[in-house]
Structure 1
Amino acid sequence: MSKEITNLEPKALWENFYQLTQIPRPSKKEARIQEFIENFGKSLGLETIKDETGNIIIRKPATPGMENRKGVVLQGHLDMVPQKNNDTKHDFENDPIDAYVDGDWVTAKGTTLGADNGIGVAAAMTVLADKNMQHGPVEALFTCDEETGMTGAFGLKNDVLKGDILLNMDSEDEGELYVGCAGGVDANIEFEFDQVVVPSGVKAFDLVISGLKGGHSGMDIILGLGNANKLLVRFLKYAVTELDVRLAGINAGGLRNAIPREGTANIVVPEENVDALKKAVAKYEEVYKAELSSREPNLSFVAKEADMPKSLIDEAVQDGLIDSVNACPNGVIRMSDDMPGLVETSTNLASIKSENGTIAIQCLLRSSVDTAKDYLADRIDSVFSLAGATVVFTGGYPGWKPNMASPILKQMQQIYNDKFGKIPEIKAIHAGLECGLLGAVYPKWDMISFGPTIRSPHSPDEKVHIESVNKFWEFLVETLKNVEEK
C-alpha cells in the first residue's frame, strides 16, 4: 500500500485523506469512521458530539480577534459508494482503498476512490487541526449515510448547530459555486413469481453485459451513458418473443445512485435455437456499440454457457417484468427552463435482482421541481402496477432552491476573483446534495456548495484532480479568513 499521495500539496489535507482511505466506510457500515472522527476531534481538545443518528459535530473556537465573525459550518459526509470492477478482489467492509497518483489525478486500483466526499471531510479535518489559519467560530458537521438515504441529514436536530453559514464541500467541479440541487425519491418495485420446472431439450446460458462506464446517477445522467439493465432487458424482449428463451434469474445493476455498468440474465433456450441465440447476441452487441459508440467504447455483450438452473420464473411474471422494464422511463426526462444545460428531472433504473420468488427493482427519481418529481413517480407506478408489481416510494427529500441574493455567494465570488483572476460560475446541480435537507432544518442558513474536480464518482473510474484540490483548499482558507461580521 503506497503512501505517495501524502507527498502532494497541501500535505496536511492529503495526509488526512490518506487516513480516510485506510478506514472502510461504505454506506451503513460507518462505525469505524465515526469512531475515528470522534477520536480525532477529542485528540485536538475540541468539543465533539455524536448525535443519535451518527452524525459527528466538532466545534473549534474563533482565532483571536475573529470572535465577532459569523459562524461557519463546514459539512461533508463520511460514507462512500462501494463499487468495484468484477475482476477486482476487494472487501469494502474490511479492506483499505488502494489510492495512487496517475498523472494529474489521484485514483484507486479497481474500486471507487472515496474522494466523494473524502476530500471534503479531509478539508474540514485540516481546518480543525490547523493552528495558524484565521477564522471565526467553526463547526464541522460530518453526516452519515448520505449515499444511500441521507440518513444523517434527515436525523439532524434543529438545536445542535450554532453557525450562520453552511459550506457544503461535496460538489465536484472546482471553480464553480453551487446554489441549488435536485430533490429525489426512491422507487422500490417487487414482482412475486412462481418457480416452475425447467423443460427438457434446452441449454442454459448467462447473458452478460459489461464494460459500461457507469457513474453518478444525477450528475452523469446527462451524458447519455448506457444502462446495463435497459440493454439487457431490451435483448430479452427479442429473445423471449423470437427464440422461445425463458428467464431463470437476473442480477443487474447495483446501487440506486449509480448508473448500472453490468448485469447478467440466466436463461434457457431450446437446443435448436442455440445458434440463433449466439448470432442474435452478436448482432445486438453490434447494435449497442453503434448506438453508444462515442459513450461506451468498452461495451461487451456475450452469451456464456451456464449450469442448468433449478427452476424458471413463471412466464406471466417474466413477460410482465420485461415489458415494464422496457417501458420504464430512464435517463433525462426534462431539462431546466431556468438554467441552460441543467437537467431538471431524471430517473435511473438502477437494479433488477431476482431471488427466492421475488424480483426487486430500484429506481432513483430526481427533480428540482417537486411536482415534476411527483408526476414521474406516478408514471413509474403506472408502468409497473399494470404489469402486476407492487410499487412503494421511500426516502423522499426536498431540493434546494437557489438564493441569488446570498451574501456568502457574493463574497465568495469576489474572493475567488481576487485570488484566481476570474469569477466562479454559479450553478445548480442535478444531484441530492444534503443542503436541501439541512436548509429545511436550519432555514436561516446562508448556504454554498463547492469542491475540487472529481470525475466518475460512484464508479471504479473515480478520480480527483490534484491541482484542483490545492485551489479548493486555498479558496476555503481565504473564505474563512474573510467571513463577514455578525
Structure 2
Amino acid sequence: MSEIQSLQPQLLWKWFDQICSIPHPSHHEEQLAEFIVNWAKGKGFYAERDEAGNLLIRKPATKGMEHCQSVALQAHLDMVPQANEETDHDFTSDPIQPYIDGEWVKAKGTTLGADNGIGMASALAVLDSENLAHPALEVLLTMTEEVGMDGALGLRKNWLQSEIMINTDTEDNGEIYIGCAGGENADLTVPVQWQENNYEHCYQISLKGLRGGHSGCDIHTGRASAIKTLARFLANLQQNQPHFEFSLSEIRGGSVRNAIPREAFATLCFNGEPANFTQGVKSFESLLKTELAIAEPDLQLTAQPAEKATKVFAPNTKNNVVNLLNALPNGVIRNSDVVENVVESSLSIGVLKTTEDAVKGTILVRSLIESGTNYINGLLISLTELCGASVQFSGRYPGWEPHAETPILTLTKEIYGELLGYEPAIKVIHAGLECGLLKKIYPALDVVSIGPTIVNAHSPDEKVHIPAVRTYWELLTKVLAGIPAKK
C-alpha cells in the first residue's frame, strides 16, 4: 500500500496501486490477469479469458438502466518496462514504486505504467463500485498491446455483447480521440563477417541522457534518437578515413520497439593516439549539445577504455552497418493533409543489438493510411538492398478511421464540455490504439477514446496528472450514467 491510495477518487487510485504491486510488463501479464479474474469471480461477476489470454468481465446494469445500450470499457494489461541505467529493477518480479510529486504521480527510476494502468484501474473501479449508475457493463482487458497488439489481434469473435466501447488509452486531458494510426514492425538484419582484432585500443562509446518518449505521440517533438545520433557520430568517423581507421565489435541501443531510444552504445577499436580520439568525441559532444540544446539538454557522449575484443566487424560489414543506420529514415515522413497538426506517416528504430551472426534492428512504422505504410516499407527495402542487408515485415495492424459524429462522441463531448467549461478537442492520434483492430472484429461498435494527462509515457520520466485523473473519472462516470436507451 503506497501513499497514492490517499488520492481522490480513492477507488481508482486503490486499484492503480494494486496494479503497480503486481509485475506486468509485456509478455508477463499472467499474474495480474489471474489476480483480476479471481477477484471478479469472487464478486460474482462473469469472468472469462479467450484463446489469446484477453480477459472479459461482465457486470449487470444498475437499477433503472437495464434498458440502456450496453458499454464495454477497454484497456490493456501490459506496461512498457523502461528503467534508468542506475536503477536496479527486475520488471518481471519487482513492483513499481509510485509516489506523489506535487500534482503528479511518478515512479522511482522506472516507467510508471499509467499507460494503460490508470485506464485499467478506472474500469476495475467501476466494477468494484456499489453506488455508480451504469448500463450493462463489460470490461475488456487485452494482452501484450505494447509490443504488437497480440491480444487485440487474437480477440475472440462473437464474445463482446456491447454496442458502445470506451477505450481508456488516451493521454491528454480535454481531448477525445476518434481515430488512430495503424502500424507494422520492420526488422532489419545486417549479416556480420568477423575478423581478428588487430587494433591496439578499444573504447566504449556511450550516448546517454536523451529524453526518449513515445515513438508515436512524441515523434514530432524533435527529440533525438540515441541510435540515430550514435550512427551519425560513427559515420562522421568513417567519412574521415583513411585519417582514422577503426572497426566495431558491438553496437546496441534502445530496449522496446515503440519508444524513442534514450541510450546507445558501441565498442570501437582503433590504432593511434587515444587522447586525440577522446578529444574528438568531446568535440562531437559539444556540437550535439549546441544543436540539441533545447530538445536534449542532458545529452552525454562519452568514451571510456574497454576490454580488448577478440574479434571485430570485417571492413565491409562495418561500412554496411554504419551506412545503413546513418541513412535510415527516422521520424516524421509526412504530415496529414486531412487532419490539421497530425502526423500522417513516421517510423522509429526502437531497438538495436549485435548477435553472433548479425546486427539487428527493430523499427515501428506508423501511418494513418495504408499507402503511407507501404511507402515507408518500400524505402526500407531499397535502403537495405543498397547496404547488403534485409528487412522483414510483420504484425501489421489497421488504423482506426475517424467519424465526425456518432452518438457516443456527441454524449462524451457534451459532458466533457460541461466539466471543462470549454469545448473538448476532437483528435486523431499518431499512435496505435487497439480501436482499429477491435472495430475490424466488431464493426458495429461505437467507439471513443478518453483518458487523463500522462506525460513521457514509455520512459522512466512517465508521470500522470492527479487533477486530470479526477476530471477523467468524473467524465467516465457521468458518461456511463448518461447512456441512452436501446433503439
* TM-score range relative to shorter protein: over 0.9
Aligned position for 1:135: 134
Pairs within 5 Å for 1:71-470: 71-200=70-199, 202-242=200-240, 243-270=244-271, 272-470=272-470
Task: Give the match's secondary structure for 1:5.
Answer: helix
How far is 1:350 from its partner?
1.4
Q: Which amino acid aligns with 1:148?
A: V
How far is 1:276 from its partner?
2.4
How far is 1:173 from its partner?
0.2
The range that moved more, 447-456 or 190-199, is 190-199
Cα displacement string for residues 247-284 of structure 1 (whole angstroms, at most 9, x for unaligned residues): 111111221100000011001110x2422211211111
Q: Which amino acid aligns with 2:217?
A: M
Pairs within 5 Å for 1:466-481: 466-481=466-481
Q: Which amino acid aligns with 2:282?
A: A
Q: Which amino acid aligns with 1:360?
A: K
Q: In 2, distance between residues paired with 1:278 and 1:420?
A: 55
Q: Is the 8 A contact 2:248 2:267 kept in 1?
A: yes
Task: Give the match's secondary structure for 1:116.
Answer: helix
The range that moved more, 35-44 or 96-105, is 35-44
Q: Is the 8 A contact 2:51 2:156 kept in 1?
A: no
Q: In 2, distance between residues paired with 1:94 and 1:221?
A: 31
How far is 1:238 from its partner?
1.9
How far is 1:325 from its partner?
1.1
Q: Which amino acid aligns with 1:213?
A: R
Q: In 1, distance between residues paired with 2:164 and 2:138?
A: 10
Q: In 2, distance between residues paired with 1:419 and 1:262?
A: 41
Task: Give the match's secondary structure for 2:354.
Answer: strand
Task: Give the match's secondary structure for 2:339.
Answer: coil
Q: In 1, distance between residues paired with 2:225 and 2:426?
A: 30
Task: Give the match's secondary structure for 2:220.
Answer: helix
Task: Give the match's secondary structure for 2:401.
Answer: coil
Q: In 2, distance between residues paired with 1:268 and 1:476?
A: 57
How far is 1:418 from its partner?
2.5
Q: In 2, distance between residues paired with 1:280 and 1:34?
A: 51
Work out whether 1:32 is the aligned partner of 2:34.
no
Unaligned runs of 5+ in 2: none
Q: Is the 8 A contact 1:17 1:119 kept in 2?
A: yes
Cα displacement string for residues 146-182 of structure 1 (whole angstroms, at most 9, x for unaligned residues): 0001000001122000000110000000110000000
Pairs within 5 Å for 1:48-59: 48-59=47-58
Q: Is the 8 A contact 2:419 2:471 kept in 1?
A: no
How far is 1:46 from its partner?
0.2
Q: In 2, distance between residues paired with 1:287 and 1:6?
A: 46
Q: In 1, distance between residues paired with 2:42 and 2:276?
A: 67
Q: Which amino acid aligns with 1:409?
A: L
Q: Which amino acid aligns with 2:402?
A: P
Q: Is the 8 A contact 2:167 2:449 kept in 1?
A: yes
Q: In 2, distance between residues paired with 1:29 and 1:484?
A: 38
How far is 1:211 from its partner?
0.1
Q: In 1, distance between residues paired with 2:379 and 2:177?
A: 30
Q: In 2, distance between residues paired with 1:291 and 1:351?
A: 24
Q: Which amino acid aligns with 2:68?
A: R
Q: Is the 8 A contact 1:168 1:435 kept in 2?
A: yes
Q: In 2, distance between residues paired with 1:380 and 1:452?
A: 36
Q: In 1, distance between residues paired with 2:30 and 2:226?
A: 33
How far is 1:438 from its partner?
0.3
Q: In 1, distance between residues paired with 2:340 and 2:45?
A: 44
Aligned position for 2:41: 42
Cα displacement string for residues 339-359 of structure 1 (whole angstroms, at most 9, x for unaligned residues): 211111110011221021211
Q: In 2, distance between residues paired with 1:373 and 1:307?
A: 42
Q: Is the 8 A contact 1:74 1:169 kept in 2?
A: yes
Aligned residues: 483
Cα displacement string for residues 448-468 of structure 1 (whole angstroms, at most 9, x for unaligned residues): 001000000000000000010
How far is 1:92 from its partner?
0.3
Task: Give the match's secondary structure for 2:373.
Answer: helix
The range that moved more, 428-437 or 232-241, is 232-241
Q: Is the 8 A contact 2:105 2:466 kept in 1?
A: yes
Q: Which amino acid aligns with 2:111?
A: T
Q: In 2, distance between residues paired with 1:68 and 1:388?
A: 63
Q: In 2, distance between residues paired with 1:445 and 1:283?
A: 57
Q: In 1, distance between residues paired with 2:147 and 2:205?
A: 29
Q: In 2, distance between residues paired with 1:139 and 1:393?
A: 34
The range that moved more, 39-48 or 211-220, is 39-48
Q: In 2, distance between residues paired with 1:33 and 1:399?
A: 28
How far is 1:385 from its partner?
2.0
Cα displacement string for residues 3-24 of structure 1 (whole angstroms, at most 9, x for unaligned residues): 1000000001000000000000
Q: Is the 8 A contact 1:240 1:246 kept in 2?
A: no
Q: In 2, distance between residues paired with 1:258 and 1:277?
A: 31
Q: Which amino acid aligns with 2:208?
A: S
Task: Give the match's secondary structure for 2:439.
Answer: helix
Cα displacement string for residues 354-403 of structure 1 (whole angstroms, at most 9, x for unaligned residues): 02121111111100011011111110111112211121001100000101
Per the normalisation by structure 1, the TM-score is: 0.98
Task: Give the match's secondary structure for 1:221.
Answer: coil
Cα displacement string for residues 216-239 of structure 1 (whole angstroms, at most 9, x for unaligned residues): 000011111011011111111122
Q: Is the 8 A contact 2:336 2:344 kept in 1?
A: yes
Q: Which amino acid aligns with 2:364?
A: L
Cα displacement string for residues 400-452 of structure 1 (whole angstroms, at most 9, x for unaligned residues): 01011211111111112223322211000000000010010000110000100
| Pairwise CA RMSD | 0.9
Per the normalisation by structure 2, the TM-score is: 0.98
